[in-house]
Structure 1
Amino acid sequence: MLILMGYYINHKKVYRLMKENYLLMPKKTRIKKNYAKYRTVTPKASLEVLEMDIKYFYVARDGRHAFVLTVIDTFTRVVLAWKVGFTINARQVEHLWQNIIVQYLQPWDLLNKGVHLEIRNDNGPQFSAKSINAFFKQNYINQVFTHPYTPQENGHIESFHAIISKALGNNNFWSLDELEKRLNTFYNSYIDFMLGKGN
């Protein structure tokens, strides 16, 4: 508008005037990420290092991908929790972790015993959210991010998701219900196999 009237105002002056009059949006602050120090993990006991990741499958009826979130113990290779849906957001990740804390960490009073639990994940938005970071800190869980393009830093869960793909044979499913039933069967038989392996 001012240009049409013959005025030209430098962008720096516009910025300064907007700043003086509190018209600028506050700068976004990012959480400080704790990146993996080692490419591979060597836990000495269960519930020391956990890994989580998301795998996707195509659902033909809806014409979109469904996402599967899995959390695995790197020492025992046991799946602690999983969730499937058309979206996986930070709130759902937090809910899944609340269940893990109640089922696995509280019964053995691990948090009060000073057991240092590390959770490794990639840089997905549902894992990088401030609410998830705060949730893990509040529950004394050390969240570690893998470096970009280094799936080997999260190798156990990446390998497990490759096993799922091979076991299900087809990454395309007709409905979310069909996918969930197949995953439920797979996870239950996998967990039974892993728990029976120790006997």
Structure 2
Amino acid sequence: MLTDCLRSQYNLVINKKKAYRFCQELGVLHSQRKKQVQHPRRLARNHTITGSNQLWQLDIKYGYVAGYGQFFFLADMIDVFDRTIVGYHLGSSCSAKSVCSMVKRALEQRIAPGAAMPIIRTDNGPQFVSRAFGELAQQAGFVHERIPPKTPNMNAYIESFHATLEHWVLRKEQFETFDEAFHAVEEFMDFYNNRKMHGSLARRSPADFMAWVSEQKPDLTRFQRAV
């Protein structure tokens, strides 16, 4: 804008780089504002997961309601050890507040008072880089890891679940209403957590696997995950 003013008022042949250099020499430039980072970013790193509630992966998936010509949102979170979907939010929108409420409920349901908090890993979506999510991490005491851009393999467990959901529900059914879509997703969540057998869980569902671990207390070495 200063360059345009100089051209207009004084008929100078000047570009913005030269105008900047003159301002620099005259010492009239304002110092650049420093970006204030309220909650520092923690990059995801490799972990060896030996039990439940050590690492949860969180992401957002989109579905389509053909009857309204609109999308709906599913924010969900998986425990990478026992493959349980520990919490999810379904809605026609998905704000940071909604995601925080879902995470808070999951922590209350899965983590006993005084027990160690899980690491929660996400991508860099606006809900996850928000101040609200950073404040929740600080208040609840969990570590929030964010994967680098274009590395969905670092969130492979939740990405795999979304591919399964897409194949068995979202691609097969055409929804006329939001209620119809939400009911289908909720039914699949119940099936996935309580009845779907996983080869990686010794052909047990997540619920059966957790009950087996609790009752039999087997050697879990073969179920360790490097994530």
Give TM class, smaller chain.
0.7 to 0.9
Match of 1:35 in 2: 43
User: Could you tell me whether the CA contact under 8 Å between 1:57 and 1:173 is conserved in 2?
Assistant: no
Task: Name the stretch that deviates more: 188-197 or 45-54.
Answer: 188-197
The answer on 1:129 being equivalent to 2:116 is no
Q: How far, CA to CA, are the matches of 2:143 and 2:86 in structure 1? A: 17
Tell me how far 1:143 sits from its aligned partner.
0.4
Structure-1-length-normalised TM-score: 0.81
Residues 10-46 of structure 1, C-alpha deviations (whole Å, 9 max, x = no match)? 45778976849xxx9x5543443111122xx531111
Q: How far, CA to CA, are the matches of 1:70 and 1:85 in structure 2? A: 12
Distance 1:85 1:12, change over 3 A: farther
The letter of the residue matching 1:179 is A
Structure-2-length-normalised TM-score: 0.72
Summarize the alignment of residues 68-107 of structure 1 with structure 2, pairs less than 5 Å apart: 68-105=74-111
Tell me how far 1:176 sits from its aligned partner.
1.5
The letter of the residue matching 2:73 is F
Match of 1:164 in 2: 165
The letter of the residue matching 2:94 is I
Match of 1:195 in 2: 207
Tell me how far 1:64 sits from its aligned partner.
2.6
Residues 124-158 of structure 1, C-alpha deviations (whole Å, 9 max, x = no match)? 11011122112102211000111211111111111
Q: How far, CA to CA, are the matches of 1:13 and 1:171 in structure 2? A: 64
Distance 1:160 1:29, change over 3 A: same
Summarize the alignment of residues 43-58 of structure 1 with structure 2, pairs less than 5 Å apart: 43-58=49-64
Residues 77-134 of structure 1, C-alpha deviations (whole Å, 9 max, x = no match)? 01111111222121111111221122122xx22xx24x24201111111011122112
- Percent of pairs identical after alignment? 26
Extract unaligned runs of 5+ from structure 2.
196-205, 213-227
SS at match of 1:95: helix
SS at match of 1:134: helix
User: Could you tell me whether the CA contact under 8 Å between 1:165 and 1:171 is conserved in 2?
Assistant: no
Distance 1:4 1:142, change over 3 A: same
Aligned length: 188
SS at match of 1:61: coil
Extract unaligned runs of 5+ from structure 1.
none
Tell me how far 1:50 sits from its aligned partner.
0.6
Q: How far, CA to CA, are the matches of 1:125 and 1:170 in structure 2? A: 29
